[in-house]
Amino acid sequence: IPRLRDIEPAAWDACAGSDNPFVSHAFLNALEESGSATPETGWVAQHLVLDDGTGGVLGAVPLYLKSHSYGEYVFDHGWAAAYEQAGGRYYPKLQVSVPFTPVTGPRLLSRPGLGATAGGVERALIAAVEELARRHGASSVHATFLPEPQWRGLGDAGWLLRTGYQFHWQNRGYGSFDDFLGALASRKRKAIRKERRAAERSGLVVRVLMGPEVGELHWDAFFRFYQETSDRKWGDPYLTRAFFSRLGAAMPERIVLILAERDGIPVAGALHLMGRDTLYGRYWGCHGDHKFLHFELCYYRAIDFAIANGLARVEAGAQGPHKIQRGYLPRRTYSAHWIRDPALGDAVRNFLAHERVEIEADMRMLAEHSPFHRDHGSPPA
């Protein structure tokens, strides 16, 4: 399917479920219709749908044919360079993912209530992805930010398995932010209080806007912040201004926009999306230099919101060992890779074996810097 709008939203969402906003028809369609994830930007939609022969949808896969490796957050640039130096052609490749979104969620989508048939649906989707790769002459397929059961299922199908990590905050039934602070070692607790006091003394007013409270003027301001941050860190921004308007219109119940204002004028913002039990931090931007404001809007206010709304966790996006000292601990992420050329597959398999050892060592080292009391323990990785 070359455009998500050609798929009935209710049929897609029946497979995607309601837990994770990023695999919803509304989010993926907003990326395409806004000009963010399009053939012109190197994301050629090739979504797969498995029907039951009568027009009913049993399963689906968000899938893109790509001519580059940008906007993925699971890096294979080294694989591409090595293969092309050896005379191979790495691009095009197929990407099973949500563009520009390093958030774990289902990638092999299947309608609930299938019972014993569900395994067959998943296997059929995997076989279809592989066949499409062959037809396109793609070097490889990459399914990124998978839930662990789907990751293992792809491993059983012969795909190469890769791990990484992000930093997530876990809600252990805290009744307030102070309850969370009480679980930290004294020095870490004092440091966070100092950062929050500094942010409060800045004279900025912080507002949490949800759903219909977010208007076009708010999106205008936030997009300016997003552009400034993108210019500083990555160059050209991935997302268009139209994406944010479409997002706000299509899924307002998921939007949590935290703005800092001076005299009623926004100077910084953090955009979060809310899932069934998780708050997902997505984008941040700021005009000017405001000490500790990034931590306040992206991390501490997110924790406040999660506690107040009974959410189980906050996922604050990619990168950032600095998050550990603020209660966000390392958690594994999972991706799986199908390589058409056996020689390239052997090289990648060898690379992944060494990388996995390094990832586990990194996670053990990072866990030693946990800010929690030693007797408090750490949630499972």
What residues have CB less than 8 Å from 66, skipping those under 6 apart?
Answer: 42, 43, 44, 91, 92, 93, 94, 95
What residues have CB less than 8 Å from 373, skipping those under 6 apart?
Answer: 183, 184, 185
Q: Which amino acid is residue 334, in one-letter code?
A: Y
Q: 306, 313 in Cβ contact below 8 A? A: yes
What residues have CB less than 8 Å from 229, skipping those under 6 apart?
Answer: 283, 284, 285, 286
Q: 367, 378 in Cβ contact below 8 A? A: yes
pLDDT for res 352? 98
Instruction: Name which of 309, 294, 217 is nearest 256 in CA terms.
Output: 309
User: What is the distance between the alpha carbons of residues 158 and 85, in angstroms, rounded to a whole number?
Assistant: 26
pLDDT for res 290? 85
pLDDT for res 54? 84
Could you tell me the end-to-end alpha-carbon distance of the chain, in angstroms, rounded to an integer?
Answer: 36
- Return the number of other C-beta atoms located less than 10 Å from residue 357's C-beta: 10
Q: Which amino acid is residue 56, in one-letter code?
A: G
pLDDT for res 172? 96
pLDDT for res 375? 62
Scored b (16 or more CB within 10 A) or e, 295-313 reads: bbbbbbbbbbbbbeeebbb
Diameter of the chain measured on Cα atoms? 63
pLDDT for res 234? 54
pLDDT for res 376? 58
Tokens 């299509």 locate to 250
pLDDT for res 231? 60
pLDDT for res 233? 55
Q: Report residues of the chain scoring pLDDT below 50.
A: none
Instruction: Name which of 27, 22, 24, 30 is nearest 12 in CA terms.
Output: 24
Threshold 0.85, pTM exceeds: yes
Alpha helices in the chain (DSSP H): 9-16, 25-33, 77-85, 117-136, 148-156, 177-182, 186-200, 216-233, 241-250, 293-295, 301-308, 342-367
The CA distances from residue 323 to 74, 168, 333, in Å, are 19, 8, 16
User: What is the distance between the alpha carbons of residues 254 and 64, in angstroms, rounded to a whole number?
Assistant: 25
pLDDT for res 119? 87
Tokens 């219109």 locate to 249
Tokens 């004294």 locate to 186
User: What is the distance between the alpha carbons of residues 62 and 40, in angstroms, rounded to a whole number?
Assistant: 18
> DSSP code of 40?
G
Continuous segment of H or E residues that includes residue 209:
strand 205-210
- Copy the structure tokens of residue 77: 């640039």
What residues have CB less than 8 Å from 10, skipping those under 6 apart?
Answer: none
Q: 135, 299 in Cβ contact below 8 A? A: no
